[in-house]
Each structure stands twice: as C-alpha cells, then as structure tokens.
A and B are shown apart, each in its own frame.
Chain A
Amino acid sequence: MTSTRSRAPRPLAGGLLAGSGAAAATIGLLLAAAVLVPVLNLAVAADSPVHMPTWVVSLVGKYLTFALLALSVDLIWGFCGILSLGHGAFFALGGYAIGMHLMREIGGRGVYGNPLLPDFMVFLNWSELPWYWHGFDSFPFALLMVVLVPGLLAFVFGWFAFRSRVTGVYFSIISQALTFALMLAFFRNDMGFGGNNGLTDFKDVLGFDLQDDRTRAALFALTAVVLAAAYFCCRLIILSRLGKVLVAVRDAESRVRFLGYRVEYYKLFVFVFSAMLAGIAGALYVPQVGIINPSEFAPANSIEIVIWVAIGGRGTLHGAILGAILVNYLKTWFTGAIPELWLFALGGLFIAVTLLLPTGIVGLAEHLRRRRPPATGDETPHLARETAP
C-alpha cells in the first residue's frame, strides 16, 4: 500500500482528460471535411485527380449519418451500460419524418399528378391525407418531428423499462422487439407510410434539387457539422457530473441509488437524448440516399450499430464515429467485390474485436501509445474499462 500511495497524483480524471486531444482532432477533422469535401466536389475540375465525384460525397455523407447513429448508441451503451438493440427504430423514425416532408414537397409532380396525395396513396385509392400527415408540408414542423417522435417514443419506452428496473439483456431484448414491431407495422400498406416501398422519388428540399451537386455537397457539409456539434454535446454531457453519474450507474447501479440519485431519471434523460440524435441521423440520411423504407427497422440493423461501436471502441465517443465509418467503408468495398462474404466478414470482425480488442481500435491505439513511456502501473484511464457487472 505504501508503494502505491507514494505515486504522484494524477491531475484529473484520466479518462476524461485523456480524450481531449482526440476530441479536438475529431471536431477539427469533421469541420475540415465540411469545407474541403464540397470544395473538392464543386470547385475542382472534374478531370482533376483530386476531384471528388458527387456519388462519393453522398457515400461519405451516408457514413457520417451512421457515425452520428453510432455516437448516439455509444453515449448510452458505452457510458451508461444501456445496450439498446433497437436504436435503428429511432433512426428510421427520424428518416420517415423528413421523408414525409420530402413527399409533400413533391406536390403535383408525382406520377399521378395529385397535388395533395403522395403517389402511393393515390395508388391505394385514398381520397384524403391521413391526419398524421398533416403539418408535414411545413419544413420546421418536420424538423420538430424528427426529434420529437423518436424522443417521445424513447421517453415512453424508457419510462416503463427504467422504472421497472429492466436492465441488461432483458432491456436489449425488448428494444429488439420494439424495432421489430415497428418494422412489421411500417410494412403494412394501411399504415400510410408507403408499405414495403417506403417513401422515395423525392424531388427537392426547401426548393433545392436533390439531384443537384450543390445540394448534395450542402447536405454533406450539414451532416459533418451536425455530427461535430452532436459529438461536442455528448462530450459536454460526459464531462459533467451527469456523465460521471452515468458511468457510475454503468459500473455499480445500486450504489448510485444509495447515494440518493434517481437512476431511472438519469437513464431516461440520456436515452431520450440519444434517441433524438438517432432521429437526426435518420433525417440526414434520407435526403442523401433518396429513400426510407421499413427495412431500416430491421433488428439486424440495430445490432450492426452496436458492432460499429464495439469495433471502434466503446465508451470513447470518437471510437464510435471511427468504427461506423470504417465498418461501412469495408461494407461498401465488400458489397462491390465479394458481397456474399460480407456478413461473415462482419461477424468475424466482431468476434475478433470482442476477444482480442475489448476496447476496440481506439483502445488499441491508446494502449500502443502508452506503451512507449515506461508503464506507470495498473491504472488504465479509459472509460471503456469496466468492472464485472
């Protein structure tokens, strides 16, 4: 004991400060991309070797929306131990909310030329807009719904789950059930969300043509900026005492209760916030890929998000961003080259990371970095490290 006690005190919570370099780098890179990518796409001649084709801009933009989704999952899973296997549902709901607005914006330019009803409703012989489609012609209203609908669903779901102290694998299972149930519902034509085709054939957003390079570049820049802002907010939460309570809940939930904290409210707060981030991610995704359909609710999608986070490095925030981009880049490559092997590759990667790199790529990088100076002892200033549950 005396030997450990004489060790020089560390200035502050290692895990929290250790990431400040990474935080600056993450935000810097995202903001740089927000400027640089549109420039490379719009201002550089198409035959130049550094020109970035529009399809690449949208592809990377899509990766960044997945990164935002991964960030939202890491916030609750990495820091509060809430393993949601249904976060794809919040993403999809945000996507549907913006998709409904984009459908309304098509107006009379649809195949059937109906100024009020989207094509699929005309096809179903509906004569009027269902009540829940009202308001979506307004862009601000749609934006509000992008955060409100996922937030409200997360609130109701979380309220019952956290108050009844549903934790661990039980929570994961019911969150899977949630997204599965929503998938089945959205597949039905009479739900009024376009059935299994979903919402597509969007024309423009706020009057800007969605096929235009400039619109696509702007959507990319917006996604990068929103991701940077969301990352910043998540860090503020994590660095506050609220964040410390979350980590404490993850590691020793009942102890936190005996300190007088209402654990269920803390979980509810972070779960709702996370669902809203996922909704925003979905809303940025849909205009860039041009479609939203019920397959976004597929349980496998939600599991995949967790894999991105695990591979990047759980409980680090920037690891989630890195993991989402990296895995999706791999996925693009695989689906081009050897599509039938992708799921095996993903599964293999996940197993390898779980067994060999429990702290993900970011944890490995940190480990290598720390190996250079002589090891200072057993302490790992890393939030992802966890005590046995």
Chain B
Amino acid sequence: MSTAAVHARPEKHDTILYLDGVSVSFDGFKALNRLSLYIVAGELRAIIGPNGAGKTTMMDVVTGKTRPDAGEVFFNGGIDLTRLDEARIANLGIGRKFQKPTVFDNHTVLDNLELAIAGDRGVFASLFFRLSGEQRDRIDAVLHTISLTADSGRLAGSLSHGQKQWLEIGMLLIQDPVLLLIDEPAAGMTDAETEATAVLLKEIVKDHSVVVVEHDMAFVRSLGCPVTVLHEGHVLASGTLDAVQANQQVIEVYLGR
C-alpha cells in the first residue's frame, strides 16, 4: 500500500516532529483524541480534515500555546515541547503561520520582516539592534520571493488579504526555522495567488520541513505530497491525496457533515 510510509511509526530520533497519543480537551470536549503524527526531516505534509477536526489545536500544542492533557510531543528527536513556552519553542526553530493572517498592521512590511529576522531576541539586543548588510540582503531576497518588494514601505495593515498571507510566510522564511507549521495559507486567495503559494511552498520545502493545513483540495493536490486526514481529534487516514479521497471513512466524514 502506498500509504505505508506515513502509517509506519518511525523511531523518535528519526523524526523532526513526533506526536504520540496526544489528547487535549476543552471543558470535557476532546479537541485532540490520542493523536499520533510523525514528520521526518525534510518532509512536506498536508493535513486536511473538516472544520473542528483539531488541526489548529495540533499546531497550538506543538508551538506551546496549548498544553496537552496526555501524550508526547517531541521536536528534532529528543526535545520535549510540552515543557517549553512559546518563545523557547520558536527559538528552537519552529515557525508558525496562523489561520487568520496575523501581521503587525501598524508596522511596515519591512519592519515586519525585521522583527521576524533570525537573531538574538533579548531586550537589550533589540534596543541596540541594527540591520546588517547581510540581513538587508536577506530581507530583499525574501521580499522578492513573496512579491512585496514594491510594497516594502507600506503599512502591513493596508495590504490585501493575500499579500498579508504572503507577508506572514515571508516572516516565517526570514525567521529561518527548521520546521514550519502553516495553517491555511491559501484561504481567501485568488486562484492565481493560490497557485503561486503552492510554488512557494514547494520551494521552501527544499530546505525545511513543512506541515501545512489546508481545506482547498486543488491546492493540496498541487503540493503533491502525502496527506493526513484528521477527524474528531485523531488521524482518520494517511497517504496520497488520491488514496485518502478514495477511503470510505473519509468520504463519509466529508459528506456527512
């Protein structure tokens, strides 16, 4: 079966992200129910699932926003993420793009990237921070990648929805994380923008591990990567998009809602 690769449970030290038996409940409601998910280094993985399946909650758990009630969450083989806070986890090299694009509206595109650029995050380091020539070049390169070069001086709040999505991806890139968690990057985008985003993601995955949540099946198809289907807080199926779309349980879940 073609899904064997993602079904198998790899050794912890071979993974970049290792979630095992993770449960999260909100007032008794199980948003995640013994969820197990394993991502190996350099992998691009798409996560799909109906609304409320727990996709965003999974990212909350990985990034330290939500503490799991049970289960293991390890990064890079041996780092227990359940003990760390958001800032520590981000500094370990896990970057996140939110479902609702969140850029800093009152800062320019350039300043948004400057805030995200990899480096010392200390208070005094920030007080005396100056962009180096090298960092400027990196920002220029990212601006080019996300097609915002001409808009670098504009306030992020005045960008279009799609541009904000890209700016947020750009902030992720310049943060230079090892693992990127990207929540619904194509939401609210035109077809052309969606296509460009898929190209961008495939470019990113050349030197990063990426987990991307998306509802847009055309987008997922264009990524051409293994797919994991979440439902009611656990994995319903994994494999190629064609395989999971042919899966009877998956069809029921999607048609039944």
> A residues near B, CB below 8 A?
1, 4-7, 9-15, 237, 240-242, 244-245, 247-248, 251-252, 254-263, 265-266, 269, 377-381, 383, 385-387
Contacts and interface: CB of A to CB of B under 8 A. Distances in A.
A7 B154 contact: yes
B114 to A, nearest CB: 7
A260 B114 CA distance: 13
A123 to B, nearest CB: 47
B104 A12 contact: no
Contacts, number: 120
A237 B123 CA distance: 11
Contacts of A11: 153
Contacts of A256: 115
B106 A247 contact: yes
Contacts of B63: 258
Contacts of B65: 254, 258
Contact of A257 (B86, B106, B155): B86
Nearest to B105: A387
B90 A259 contact: yes
Contact of A260 (B106, B155, B158, B175): B175
A13 B154 CA distance: 8
Interface of B: 63, 65, 85-87, 90-91, 95-96, 98, 102, 104-108, 110-111, 114-116, 121-123, 126-129, 150-155, 157-160, 162-163, 171, 175
Contacts of A377: 158
A263 B126 CA distance: 12
A67 B173 CA distance: 43
Contacts of A265: 122-123
Given A12-B153, A259-B171, A266-B123, 17 more contacts: A4-B160, A13-B110, A240-B128, A241-B127, A242-B123, A242-B129, A247-B104, A251-B104, A255-B98, A258-B90, A258-B95, A259-B116, A260-B91, A265-B123, A378-B158, A379-B154, A379-B155
B160 A260 contact: no
B108 A13 contact: yes
Contacts of A266: 123, 126
Contacts of B86: 254, 257-258
Q: Which of B105, B152, B155, B160 has the largest count of A CB atoms less than 10 A from its CB? A: B155
A380 B102 CA distance: 19
A322 to B, nearest CB: 21
Nearest to B96: A258
A383 B106 contact: yes
Nearest to A240: B127
Contacts of B157: 379, 385, 387
A1 B162 contact: yes
A263 B160 contact: no
Given A252-B102, A387-B105, A245 B115 contact: yes
